Amino acid sequence: MSLVPTTKPAIDLRSDTVTKPSAAMRQAMAEAEVGDDVYAEDPTVNALEAKVAALFGHDAGLFCPTGSLANQLGMRMLVKPGEELVCDSIAHVARAELGAAAAFSGITFRTWSSPRGLLNADQVLNFMTPDSGPHLVSTTAIAVENTHNFGGGTIQPISEIKKLHSALQGSTVAMHLDGARLWNAHIATGTPLEEFGSYFKTVSVCLSKGLGAPIGSVLLSTHELIKDARVWRKRYGGGMRQVGILAAAGIYALDHNLDRMKDDHRRAKAIADTVHRVAPQVISADLVDTNIMVFDLSQHRLNASEFTSQASAAGIRIGALGPNMARAITHLDVDDAQCEEAGATLARLLA
């Protein structure tokens, strides 16, 4: 009798988007009541939109297949073609949405630099140029990302958000929140979701990252803007039909997978601490706010490509974000033992 060798599955820390729905989530999806969402007749979608809107204190929500689409719709509601949105230079909306705001909506961007993507209200207020007349592009929106992906899961200081919001009162400049991982900021800080939502005219939140749903984001705003966004969602090809089976996963995720994010944060800090002991110039646990770890390899013998390749060969999947930057993200499909193994392996490679 021959024995077939088995290969140990890799520990996948490339992103929290790689999670797969649990058996209970799949059951909720299978049992979902559905209708035609383009007609706004899918009861499960409607329930999800109302649930998320209520959590953030907004009037209405719009279920979108992706976070990028929710961001694009949110920004489109605030910025007319030829006007300007400003954000930090490593924001997802500027760096990772493939120029969609310019291609689809005629929105121009200007960006400022900030360490780890941290928001500084005074810096933004001095940077923007609202009501600029016929000679300069007028700033009409500011995008804030919380938590900040490429910044390493950075949590934006609520004091700076408040300060910026207060200074903009009575102006022509609105605020959009790219809250793809806002759930993580909520769990890490205890700041109520409704407080986060109160400072922004449009909010995008993702269901398919730390919450573990297989797909979906929700755009939040006023009834009027969501009505307009629904038209643009269809125009962009994002009109969906009987998608209550997907919305049900989002409802299940909100009901069961929110509080457990604290485990992801704890595990990310533990990995960072293990690596820091042997390569302190690469990462510090003090800079790991949530579930994202960014490895700065600019002072290391390995570049990002070499590091990720060696990690993959050792059974740990992480991602390269640039020539000298790599990223790992904890999530609900990796447990304590796997994260301990990942930390030890990454530390060995960097030692």
List, for residues 85-124, the tens digit of each pLDDT value: 999 999 999 999 999 999 999 999 999 999 999 999 999 9
| 8 Å CB contact between 268 and 154 | no
pLDDT of residue 2: 47
pLDDT of residue 215: 97
Confidence at 348, pLDDT banded by 50, 70, 90? very high
pLDDT of residue 129: 96
Percent of the chain whose predicted confidence (pLDDT) is above 90: 97
**pLDDT digits 0-9 by tens, 25-46:** 999 999 999 999 999 999 999 9
**pLDDT digits 0-9 by tens, 209-230:** 999 999 999 999 999 999 999 9
| 8 Å CB contact between 233 and 69 | yes
Q: Which of 126, 156, 159 is nearest to 144 (CA)?
A: 156
Confidence at 3, pLDDT banded by 50, 70, 90? low
Separation between Cα atoms, residue 36 and residue 206, nearest integer Å: 22
Separation between Cα atoms, residue 64 and residue 77, nearest integer Å: 15
| 8 Å CB contact between 148 and 114 | no
Separation between Cα atoms, residue 342 and residue 30, nearest integer Å: 34
Where do the domains of the chain lie, and which CATH numbers do they carry? 11-17+260-350 (3.90.1150.10), 32-256 (3.40.640.10)
The mean pLDDT of 250-267, rounded to a whole number, is: 98
Say if residue 1's pLDDT is above 50.
no
